Chains A and B, each alone.
Chain A
Amino acid sequence: MKRTGIIVSALVLLMFLMPASGQQLKKTSEQKGYKIGDVATDFRLKNVDNKMVSLSDFKSAKGFIVVFTCNHCPYAKAYQDRVIALNEKYASQGYPVIAINPNDPKLEPIDSFEGMQQRAKEKGFTFPYLLDDGQKIYPQYGASHTPHVFVLKKENGKNIVRYMGAIDDNYANPNDVSHKYVEAAVDQLLAGQPVALSSTKAIGCGIKTAKN
C-alpha cells in the first residue's frame, strides 16, 4: 500500500516535471541562434592585421564561409589546413572564408588577439581571422563550439544562412573523408541549387564564455 503510494506520487511528480523540462529545452534551442533561411547579422570585428572587417566590405562576394574557430581546440587545429584550402578554392568563386574566434581570451589565454596573430602568421592564413571581442556575434549566429561553420548566401543584399555545421565527416583524418559538407553546400549554391544537406553535427570544443 505504502509502495503504491510512492509509485503514484512519483508518477504525479514525473507528470509535472516532464512537460516543464521539455519546454525548457525547446526554449533554449530557440534562443540558440539561426535556422536555415534566417538573415545573418553583419559585424565589425578586428582582424589580425588590426583592421576592422565587415561582411559588407566584400562588395563582389556571392556569399561567405563563416568559420567560428580558435587556436586552442584540437578539433579546430585539425581543420586549419582544410579551412585554408576552402578559402583557396572558393574565395575566387565569390565565397571567401571569414574566420572568427568566439572565445573569451581571459578564459583561454592561447586564444588572445596576440595568439591569433601568431597563429595566422604561422599557418599563413589567407583570410580574415577576427576576434569576437565582447562575444556579441557568436550567440546571434548560435555557434556553440569550434569549429562551427555557417555558409551564407547573399540574396537581395542580405546574407542568408544556407548551411550550418561541420566542415566534413572526419576531423581526425583528412585522407579518409567521405562527405565534404561545406564544399558540397557551396558547390550547390554556386550552381544555383538548394543545399541538400543544410545542417550537420560534429563534436567540438564548447565556446569559452564567462558564466554570469
Chain B
Amino acid sequence: MQSELSGVSKIKIYMKNLFVLLLSMVSFSALSQETSKSTTRPASHHKYTLKVVNFDQLQAVLKKNDNKLYVVNFWATWCKPCVAELPVFMEVNNLYQFNPQFKMILVNMDDAMEIDSRIKPFIAKNKIQMDVYILDDNKRMNEWIPAVDQNWSGAIPATVIYRNGKKLSFKESEMNKKELVQLIKNYL
C-alpha cells in the first residue's frame, strides 16, 4: 500500500515536471521567435561570435559598408589595464547595443591556442556579451599594427572607431566611461 502510494505520487511528480518542461519549451520558442523577428536583440538570448581570425578576415568584419559605427577594442586577458577598462566597454555597449547603427567588437590578442583554456573561461566568468574576434596573425604584426594606425606603438589597450570602412578615431590608452561615451557621441 505504502509503495503503491509512493508510486502514484512519483507519477504525479513526473507529470508535473513534464508539464513545467513543456511549458518552458513553448515559452522559450516563443521568446526566441520574437528575438529573430525583432531588429534589436535582447542581450540574454543572443549568441555572440567567438572566432579566430587573421588580419584580413578581421578587416572584413570591421570595415563593412553598413553605416554602422564600429567601436573596436584591442585587448588581452593578461593585460591589466585592458581588463580594468572592459567593464566600461560592457556598460557602454549596454547603453548603445539596441541602436542598429552601433556595433561594439572586442579584438582579443591572447595566444589563440588558449581559446579553450583561457579565453572562453574569461568571457564566461566576466559575462562578456559582445562579439569577440581572436586575432591570430603574430608574424604580420609589423604590417597590421601600422595598418590599424600609424601612431600605434603596439601597446594595448587600443580603441579604434570605423564607419563604412573609414577610420574615424584611434586611441592608444585606457578609457573611462565619460571619455568613451563622448567619443561615441561625436560620431553617432
Contacts and interface: CB of A to CB of B under 8 A. Distances in A.
Nearest to A173: B138
Interface residues of A, number: 31
Contacts of A178: 139
Contacts of B140: 169
Given A17-B186, A74-B78, A172-B111, A205 B155 contact: yes
Given A169-B139, A170-B138, A205 B79 contact: yes
B121 interface: no
B111 A203 contact: no
Given A169-B141, A203-B109, A29 B151 contact: yes
Nearest to B113: A172
Given A74-B78, A201-B145, A32 B153 contact: yes
A170 B139 contact: yes
Interface string B139-157: 1111001100001111111
Contacts of B173: 206
A204 interface: yes
B142 A203 contact: no
A43 B86 CA distance: 37
Nearest to B78: A74
Interface in A32-59: 32
B154 A203 contact: yes
Interface of B: 78-81, 109, 111, 113, 138-142, 145-146, 151-157, 169-170, 172-173, 186
22 contacts: A21-B169, A25-B151, A25-B170, A29-B151, A145-B153, A148-B153, A166-B141, A169-B138, A169-B141, A169-B142, A171-B138, A176-B139, A201-B145, A202-B141, A202-B142, A202-B145, A203-B109, A203-B154, A203-B155, A205-B79, A206-B79, A206-B155
